[in-house]
Structures are given as structure tokens and as C-alpha cells.
Amino acid sequence: MRTRDWPIRSKLTALVVVPVTALLALWIFATTLTFGPALDLLSARTLLYDLGRPGEVVVTELQRERRLSVVQLAGTTRLPVLAEQRERTDRAIAELRRRVDGEALRDAANDALEARIDHLVTALAALPAGRTFIDDRSLDRSGAVGLYSGMVTAAFQAFSAMATLNDPDLNRQALALTALGRSRELLGQGDALLAGALSAGRFAEGEHTQLVQAIGNQRWLTDSAVADLPAADRAAYQRLAEGEAFTRLRTMQDALVVANRSGRPPVDAAAWQTSHDAVQQQLRDFELAEADGLTDRSVPMAVRILARLAAAGVLGLVAVVVSVLVALRLGRTLAQRLTGVRTAALELAEHRLPDVVARLRRGEQVDVAREAPPLEYGHDEIGEVGRAFTEVQRTAVQAAVDEVALRRGLNEVFLNIARRSQSLVHRQLHLLDRMERRAEDPDELAELFQVDHLATRLRRHAEDLVILAGSAPGRGWRNPVAMVDLIRGAISEVEAYDRVDIAGAQPAGVLGRAVGDVIHLLAELVENATAFSPPDTRVTVTGERVANGYALEITDQGLGMSAAALETANTRLASSPEFDPAQSARLGLFVVARLAARHGVRVRLRPSEQGGVTAVVLIPADLVTAEPPAGPDPATLPAASADPARRLARTARRGAVPRTRPPTAPRADAAPSAPPTEAPTSGGGPGDAGSAADDELDGLPRRVRRRTPAAAQPRSTVTETPAPRSPEEVRRVMAALQAGTARGRATVTTPAAPAVPPGPAAPASPATPPEPPTATERDA
């Protein structure tokens, strides 16, 4: 049992309950020890009147029936008086059984007495069978004496079990009275033996010896019993024993002791009978009187014991109650004070400190002394704990103030660095855009495309710092943007863009205010999918309208994540926690969570059927619109730039028609890049990334390197400011160029295919790898 983990209230309760319970147990034990003897004394009257008196009557009737039975066995005829005596004996036994079966006697008797009573009832049950043996003369006189003596002995054993009083004097007197009753029984046994001998005219074999033994035992028991009586009762017995009947009976007993063992008893039958009956009656009356006196003395003694018990019980109960009240009061006081300290601690940890941090983050000023008031809990140990905790509160609040100040400073540093990097990257992208438009050399153009792609990724990483610092990126759109263009923009910001397939995207648009953040969010998820999957596997992006908005799924074929890792990641994505520098390995999840929380976008990760992970992005319905019409619309361009060159690039991209890749052999002079004004189509699926022939763009002519002498191939000069064209003219030129190139390739490699009219871009064949978009397309 680990008591260290118990609550304070439970420990205090244990401190109160254990001693109080011990005190209460001692009080109950002492009360029981005293109350038991008092009950025994009170039950003495019940035992006397329900067992002693009826039992004594049964013993007397059995002694009389025994004498008559022996006389009948000594003669030759049945005695009518024996039948009458048997009826009296049966009535006495019936009354005894009625009394011993009562609840009062059973409640007052202990286990030993109940066993003796059951033995007596069992012995009396054998009386009818014994009578039958006597009537059939199957028993001799000694056997008849033994039969009745056994029943009487069982009765006296029950009487002895009654003498269990806790008062020594009363108990000794009760045992003395029982011994007097046994001596009277021995006198009755001698009378039965002598009556049989007188009726037969002589002693039977062994009868004289039995008579002498009975006389000797009777005198010994009488002397020992009288010695245990109180002085007054002993004197009363001495006066009784000096009477004429006792003297005559003692004289005749002396004569019987020295008589001939086989001759006629030397006493007169009438004189013996008269003296014996008188002594028996006087002894019986003495025993009954002594028993009544014993009962009368036990009741007042029991009352006195109960009175003392009541006084002691009341005082003990008062002591227990006072102890309980004092313990409860002290325990409640300690518990309340400790609970106050605990409440203050929890208030600081769960409410006050987070509120201080939240206010500090909102830019409010915080008074440390006011937010950590002193805790007053007295001057004892608990008060010292309260004062110590006051210092802990002040230190914690001050630490929170310092931490928030430090975090705010770090955020400002991050934001400053990010803004500077953003500015440089935007200038670099504009410069690359101009260089790509002027470039004619295929190698130089391919390298410019690579630099363009790296700069685009660098811009996204700079925006990560802005987002983590709590600000919004500078890119913005005024009008909705098509969902397929948004997906293309996200793919273009990923390093392994050639491994990403757009498996299908239902037409839809996204409001301009959320375009930049959604592109960034999708780019982070796509980059995670490519980074945590083998390089020879594909990453697919699908999109469809659902009841609550627009759902995008990004699925990789990597090793996947464990259930615990998925749960942790989903919790982080749903709650948008504060950025923890200690978990910089999961930087993308923090950025995604921030962007999703800003627009109410729901992002959740789940296992995919291919063994990897599927990221589900649910754009809410209030951000989803119908797909905007294709065409150069300056309003759809970022607010930072809407020059004609960018509009031209967007028009050309929207007019592009996807094409299947021709199965041609790899060419050493194939260019790895597309013209600077073109972008990936809506569904360009990658093929073999290692083949040089795969580096072509859907729907656009492939730029071929040509190695010619410098004199024969002069480098064309491009003016810094080309002549502007109208959007409609640019659209017609680019669409015609695209359609013609497609027809030319189909004629060379495959049977002729019908031309596709210009229009919104459609999903491309999975065999066509995308090229990295230009800076112009990034900003679009």
C-alpha cells in the first residue's frame, strides 16, 4: 500500500481514524468484558427458574421412582404405587423439556450449558426403555439403581454448568450448593439399595459394598460443600445437621457400615424410612433457600455492575466523541490550509500564468507584484510553505515575462531576417525573369531555370520564418485562382517536383485572400511526401468537391507513420501550437498548422493503402468558388506585380494543351528545360526521371541545343523593353505555336491525332514529367 500517493485529506483522515478507531475498539472491548458478567448475573435468575427448579423436581421424582423400582424388583409382584410415581415423573420431565426448549433459557445459557442440557434430555429419553427392562425383570436391583443414577448424574452435570458466575464468592457458593445436591443424591442411592435389601430380607452380592461407598461419599461431599458456604449459611447447616432426624439417620448409617455383608440389614425399615425422608426434605429445603438467596444477591450485584458500566461507557463514549471532534476539526483546518496552497498553485499554473503570458503576447504590461500576491497561511510550517510558494509565484511570473519578451525579440529578429530575405528573393526572381526572357542559349536557359526553382524554394523557406514569427507573407491575390493552378504552384515550390502527379482535380477556385497561404500549405505537405518516400516512387495529388468545401489528398508510398506518431501529428495540426525550437525537425507541421488555422482549413494525416501516408486538406466552403475563366487577367495576378510579361506567361500557361510523350530514344542534346514563359500543366505525370528525353514539357515545343560556330550563329540581341502586345494577340500566337508543334510531333512519332482547341489546361498523361516553373509563373 503506497501511502505516499494518497491525497492530503486521506492522510489526515487516516491520522484521525486510526487512533479514534483504536480508542473505540478499546472502549467496546472493556464494555463487553464488563457487560458480559453483568448479563451472567442477571441471567442467574433465568437459569434457576427455567432449569434449576424444574431439574430439581425431576431429580426428586427420579429418586422416588428408583426406590420403588428396586423394591418391586426385590419382590415378586408389581407395585401399584410405582405406576403412580411414574406418572408424576413423566409430568416433571415434560415440564423440564418445555422450559429448556424456551428462548429465554437458550439465550441465557452458554455453549457448555447447552451441551449439558442436550445430554440430560437424551438421558431422560432412555427412561421408557429402562422401565420396560424393569417390568420384564431384565435388570437386577443394582442395574435399576445404575439406570436412574445415570439420569440424575446428567441433571447434576447440567446444574454444575450453571455455576459460571464471574463473582468468586457467588460462584463458590453455587458450586457448594451443587455439591450438597450430589450428597443428597448419594443418600438417595443408599436408601434405594437398603430398601431392596429390606424387601428381600438380605443384601444381594455387592449391594453392601455399594451402600458403604454411597454413605462414605455422601458424608465427604457434605463436609466439603459446607466448608465452601458463607459463614452464616454454614452455621445454618450445622444447626440443621444437629437435629434429631440427622442424628438418628447417622446412627443407622454407622450400623449399616459394620453390618454383615450377606445378612439382613440391622435397621428397622420404618425408622429408616422416617429418618431418611425427613433428612431428604430438610436438605432439599435448605438447598432451595440457599439458591433463592444466591439469586437475590446476584441481581443487585448485576445492577451495580451495569451502573458502573453505564457510567464508564458514557464517559468513554464522550471521550471518543471529543477525540473525533477535535481530530476532525484539526484535520479539516489542516486540509483547508493545504487545499488553499494547492488551489493557489493550480490557479497559478492553469490560469494566472497562462493569462499573464497571453497578455504579454498581446503587448500588455504586467505588474509582477500584482499578479503574484503574497499567500498568508499563518506562521507554522504551512505558512512557511505558503511564503515559499509566494516567491515561486513571483519567480514564475517574472520568468514568464522574461520568456515572452525574449520570444517577442526572437520573433522580431526572425521577421526582420525573413523580410530582408524576401525582399532579396523577390528582386532575384524578377531579375531571373528578365534573364530567362532574354536567354537564347539552351544551356544557359536550363541553368537559369534551375536557379529560378531554387530561388522559389528559398522564398518559401523565408516565408516560413515570417509565419513562425506570427506575421503574414507578402504575397497576395485580389481575385479567385483556379484550383489546378493553385496545385501547380504548390508543386513548383518542391524540390522533387518531377515525382509529383496530379491524378485528377475537379474544377473549382479559391478566393484570392487565401491563395498564397494554401499554396504554401500544400507545398509543405507535398515536400514532406517526397522527402519521406523513396526517390523511385510517385506522389499523387487529387482534388474534388465535397459537402463542406474542397478536399485535396496528397498520397506518398513511403514507410508510413505509427499510430502514435499520426495521433501526435494530427493533434499538432488541429491545435496550431506555439512554435517550439526544440522540435525544429517538425518545422513543416508548425507552418501547416499556422496556415490552416488562419483560414479554417482542416488538415489530417492517415495511413494510405499503398503503405505510406495520405494528407487530407479540407478547404472550407467559404473559401471555394467556381473555377475562374482561363485567360490573362491582371486582377488575378499578385498585387506586387502585374506587368504584361507576367500576364503573357499566365495566358500561355492556360492555353497549353497536354501531350503524350513520344517514345523516342534519349538525345544527348535534349534541353532539360522549357521556355521561360511556360509552366507545368494540370496533370503532367512523371516518367523516368533519369532519361534526358523525358525533360520536355506537355503541350510545348522542346528546345533543342544546337552546337554551331559562333560566327555562323550570332547571338541575337534582345531589347530590354520588348514591344508590348495585346493579350488576345499573345493568346492566339501561343495557341497556334502549341497546336502546330503538337501536330508535328504526332506526325513523326504516332498516327495523326485531332488538334485540341485552346482552353483551360486538362490533366496530362502520367508519362509526361513536369519542368520547374519560372519565376513569372511562381508569382502568378
Element (H, E) at 504: strand 500-505
- Mean pLDDT for 55-84 is 89
Q: Higher confidence at residue 617 or residue 739?
A: 617
Provide, rounded to the nearest whole percent, the portion of the chain with pLDDT above 90.
17
Task: Read off the pLDDT band of 304 (50, 70, 90).
Answer: confident
Higher pLDDT, 431 or 767: 431
Query: If you ran DSSP here, which 8-state letter would residue 623 be given?
Result: G
Give the pLDDT score at 551: 95
Q: Are 176 and 229 in contact (CB under 8 A)?
A: yes
Give me 90's grid cell: 413423566
Find out whether 123 and 154 touch, Cβ atoms under 8 Å: yes
742 pLDDT tier (thresholds 50, 70, 90): low
Number of neighbours of residue 201 by Cβ within 10 angstroms: 10
Q: Is 378 left (phi over 0), alpha (psi -120 to 50) or beta?
A: left
pLDDT over 70 for what percent of the chain? Answer: 75
* Confidence label for 579 from pLDDT (cuts 50, 70 and 90): low
SS3 606: strand
Dihedral of the alpha carbons of 494, 495, 501, 504, in degrees to the nearest 10 = 10
CA–chain centroid gap for 572, Å, is: 28
Lowest mean pLDDT among 52-56, 107-111, 658-662, 718-722: 658-662
CA distance 573 to 597: 9
| Cα maximum dimension of the chain | 182
Instruction: Please report the pLDDT score of residue 603 as a whole number.
Output: 94
Q: How far apart are CA 622 and CA 92, in angstroms?
A: 108
pLDDT of residue 682: 34
Q: Model confidence at 391, in pLDDT bands (50, 70, 90)?
A: confident
Q: What is the pLDDT of residue 405?
A: 77
Q: Which of 132-146, 219-233, 313-327 has the lowest mean pLDDT?
A: 313-327
Check residue 772 and give its pLDDT.
42
Residue whose C-alpha is closest to residue 271's, from 257, 282, 255: 255
Higher pLDDT, 535 or 414: 535
Q: What pLDDT, on a 0 to 100 scale, did the predictor assign at position 730?
A: 56
> Does the pLDDT of residue 523 top 70, yes or no?
yes
Residue 348 pLDDT greater than 80, yes or no:
no
CA angle 649-654-659, nearest 5°?
Answer: 110
Q: What tens digit of pLDDT does each residue of 424-440 get? A: 777 888 888 888 888 88
Q: What is the pLDDT of residue 545?
A: 93
530-578 pLDDT per residue, tens: 988 999 999 999 999 999 999 999 999 888 888 998 998 898 888 876 6
Question: Which residues lie closer than 8 Å to 115 by C-beta, 6 or more apart?
Answer: 161
Which pLDDT belongs to residue 584? 59
Task: Indicate if the pLDDT at residue 644 is higher than 50.
Answer: no
Cα 358 to Cα 356: distance, rounded to the nearest angstrom: 5
Nearest CA among 185, 123, 151, 148 for reference residue 73? 148
Grid look-up 533519369 returns 690
Higher pLDDT, 773 or 627: 627
Q: Is the pLDDT of residue 420 over 50?
A: yes
Provide φ and ψ at 670, rounded to 5°.
Answer: -70, 135
Q: Are 500 and 530 in contact (CB under 8 A)?
A: yes
Burial class (CB in 10 A: 0-12, 13-18, 19+), 297: middle
Query: From CA 778, how far away is CA 453, in angstroms rounded?
Result: 9
Question: Residue 444 — pLDDT band, cuts 50, 70, 90?
Answer: confident
What average pLDDT is seen over the chain? Answer: 75
Q: Which residues contact 86 (CB under 8 A, 6 or more apart)?
A: 65, 131
Joined grid coordinates for residue 427: 528582386
**Cell of residue 53, nine digits:** 427448579
CA distance 162 to 710: 142
409: Cα within 13 Å, side-chain hemisphere: 6
User: Checking DSSP bridges between strand 500-505 and strand 539-546, what pairing results, if any?
Assistant: parallel
- Reduce the DSSP state of residue 244 to 3 states and report it: helix
User: In this structure, what are the phi and psi dihedrals at residue 75, rounded to the nearest 5 degrees?
Assistant: -95, -160
> What local confidence, expressed as pLDDT, does residue 607 receive?
92
pLDDT attached to residue 550: 95
Q: 517: closest CA among 568, 559, 466?
A: 466
- pLDDT the model gives residue 726: 57
Average pLDDT over residues 200-206: 85
Spatial distance between the Cα atoms of 471 and 561, rounded to a whole number of angstroms: 31
Residues across the chain: 780
- Residue 537 phi/psi, 5-degree rounding, is -110, 165
**Residue 731 binned pLDDT confidence (cut-offs 50, 70, 90):** low
Where do the DSSP E strands lie in 394-499? 481-482
Q: Taking residues 750-772, report their average pLDDT.
A: 35
Q: What are the Cα distances from residue 756, in Å, to 44, 116, 656, 749?
A: 124, 121, 10, 18
Measured between alpha carbons, how far is 591 from 605 in angstroms, rounded to an integer?
Answer: 15
Backbone φ and ψ of 515, nearest 5°: -65, -50
- SS3 of 271-339: the string is HHHHHHHHHHHHHHHHHHHHHHHHHHHHHHHHHHHHHHHHHHHHHHHHHHHHHHHHHHHHHHHHHHHHH
Q: What is the pLDDT of residue 35?
A: 67
Helix H or strand E encompassing 143: helix 141-162
Cell of residue 69, nine digits? 423400582
Q: Using CA atoms, how far apart are residues 217 and 183, in angstroms rounded to an integer? A: 7
Pairing verdict, β 509-510 and 500-505: unpaired
- C-alpha distances (whole Å) from 292 to each of 289, 301, 508, 733 are 5, 15, 115, 141
Q: Whole-angstrom Cα distance, residue 181 to residue 618?
A: 107
The model's confidence at residue 450, banded by pLDDT at 50, 70 and 90, is confident
Residue 161: which pLDDT band, with cuts at 50, 70 and 90? confident
Across 289-298, 383-392, 622-631, 643-652, the highest mean pLDDT is recorded for 622-631
Give strand pairing partners of 551.
544, 618
What does DSSP assign to residue 634?
A: G
Whole-angstrom Cα distance, residue 72 to residue 141? 9
Q: 670 and 692 in contact (C-beta within 8 Å)?
A: yes
How far is it, in rounded angstroms, from Cα 185 to Cα 145? 12
SS3 for 627? coil
C-alpha cell at 709: 560556330
Per-residue pLDDT band for 710 (boundaries 50, 70, 90) equals very low
Give CA–CA dist 306/617, Å, rounded. Answer: 86
Q: What is the predicted pLDDT for the residue at 577? A: 66
